[in-house]
């Protein structure tokens, strides 16, 4: 019973110990993407090898028991408190895919303001927010992006329908759940209300990221950039990060924004990350 209680506490925490690793090595702390979950890093951890300690930082609210954090700044403060409970002093090793890189950037900025060094800040195909006001996305557009974040291939994400008989959002959500189960991306017993809660977290996170306006960070950033951009406007070598960081190192990895954390490209991603770790140790 005690073991089950401890497991529940860990699942409800935003700090997720994903690999114990070698206690003599500094841990990596990786922030969730828009989905709020850190399960997307499982393949990356496997390719990093068993010696590398790895913690995931996941969104509060995934289990419907905690309040959502409405801003990137608030997320960064919360996650810093958690990582310092494991590693009280720097240098820190931070990173994240997609939105996770944006939150990790803000964490690095806040840690620097606290005179805590960040030895490595790795952004995996993360895009800096624009200073221009972004349009508010409707639920159906968000649902498509939610499905892609879950790992569904684009050909399974389309929700085409007869304009005369539009598909209700709840029906789209049920269809997404069915497709994800058929693809083996989620457990077969996952309930629609659980998926709806995951979507609420995703929607909150996307809106927080779109509202974020970064301040400069004088430290270095390593950008691991997808070799196949989804948007021609994102062809800038540094995706726009040199405007905000003291120094930006860019490495290309195979795949697009959604595939680079999955096989087979994730092996190259892990190799690039291992190179970064070797350079600072």
**Residue pLDDT, tens place only, 178-206:** 887 787 766 777 777 888 888 889 999 99
The Cα–Cα gap between 258 and 276 comes to: 22
How confident is the model at residue 12, as a pLDDT?
61
Average pLDDT value over all residues in the chain: 85
pLDDT of res. 199: 87
Residue 1 confidence (pLDDT): 33
The pTM for the full model equals 0.87
- Tell which wins on pLDDT, 137 or 234: 137
Does residue 122 carry a pLDDT above 80?
yes
The confidence band for 133, taking pLDDT boundaries of 50, 70 and 90, is low
d(CA 145, CA 159): 12
Q: Sheet of 54-57: strands edge to edge?
A: 15-19, 54-57, 28-31, 92-97, 118-124, 217-226, 245-253
What average pLDDT does this structure show over 154-159?
66
Tell which residue, 101, 43, 53, has the closest CA to residue 265.
43
Name every residue whose Cβ is closer than 8 Å to that of residue 47 and which is 6 or more positions away in sequence. 266, 267, 269, 270, 271
Distance from chain centroid for Cα 215:
20
Q: Are 108 and 118 in contact (CB under 8 A)?
A: yes
**91 upstream amide cis, omega within 30 of 0:** yes
The CA-based angle 190-193-196, given to 5 degrees, is 100
């Amino acid at each position: 019973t005690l073991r089950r209680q401890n497991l529940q506490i860990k699942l409800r925490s935003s700090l997720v110990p994903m690999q114990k690793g070698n206690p003599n090595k500094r841990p990596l702390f990786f922030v969730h993407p828009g989905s709020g979950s850190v399960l997307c890093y499982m393949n990356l951890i496997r390719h990093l090898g068993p010696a590398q300690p790895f913690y995931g930082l996941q969104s509060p609210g995934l289990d419907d028991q905690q309040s959502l954090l409405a801003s990137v700044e608030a997320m960064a403060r919360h996650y810093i408190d958690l990582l310092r409970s494991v590693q009280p002093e720097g240098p820190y090793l931070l990173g994240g895919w997609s939105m996770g890189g944006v939150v990790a950037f803000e964490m690095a900025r806040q840690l620097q303001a606290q005179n805590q060094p960040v030895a490595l800040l790795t952004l995996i195909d993360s895009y800096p927010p624009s200073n221009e006001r972004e349009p508010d996305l409707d639920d159906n557009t968000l649902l498509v992006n939610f499905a892609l974040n879950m790992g569904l291939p684009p050909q399974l994400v389309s929700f085409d329908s007869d304009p005369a008989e539009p598909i209700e959002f709840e029906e789209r959500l049920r269809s997404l759940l069915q497709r994800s189960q058929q693809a083996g991306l989620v457990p077969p017993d996952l309930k629609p209300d659980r998926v709806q809660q995951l979507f609420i977290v995703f929607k909150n996170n996307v809106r927080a990221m779109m509202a974020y306006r970064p301040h400069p960070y004088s430290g270095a950033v390593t950008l691991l950039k997808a070799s196949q951009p989804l948007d021609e406007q994102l062809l800038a070598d540094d995706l726009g990060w040199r405007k905000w960081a003291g120094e930006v190192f860019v490495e290309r990895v195979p795949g697009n924004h959604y595939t680079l954390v999955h096989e087979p490209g994730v092996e190259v991603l892990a190799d690039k990350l291992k190179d970064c770790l070797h350079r600072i140790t």
